[in-house]
Amino acid sequence: MDLIDRITQKFKADRAKAEKSVGAVLSALRTTIDKETWEQVKKAVPDAELFVGRSMLVGGGRTAEMAPIVAPSTLLAALAAQGWRKDEIPQLAQLVIDDVRAGVGDAAVQRFIAASPGLKV
């Protein structure tokens, strides 16, 4: 079962919401790691770039506007805006981080968590 399937199953969320949410977490993570480490994330989560792109779309259809890349300090607000409850966000982030930890290493994960207020994984 892939990451998106685990999220949709655990939270009874639709696939689009799960993909945007994973993208938001990965987008925030991306701002705390170097390019080489990001390449490892993409190996761990093969659709990482796709999810990041989907997390940046606001609205829908052909008139969607691009939102700014999610920073660690704004991750909670971005996920709450997607409809996640405050108590669900750390669980969601944990699922994403579990998939990328092997690729990025524990030190990078800890930097990301430290930069993300309210995110206790």
In total, the chain counts a number of residues equal to 121
* DSSP structure class, residue 87: T
27 touches 52 (CB < 8 A): yes
Helix (H) or strand (E) holding 115: helix 106-115
Q: What per-residue confidence (pLDDT) applies to 22?
A: 95
Helix (H) or strand (E) holding 67: none
Per-residue pLDDT reduced to its tens digit, 33-82: 889 999 999 999 989 999 999 887 544 444 444 444 677 888 888 899 89
Per-residue pLDDT reduced to its tens digit, 73-104: 888 888 998 999 999 999 999 999 999 998 88
Helices and strands in the chain: count of H runs, count of E runs: 7, 2
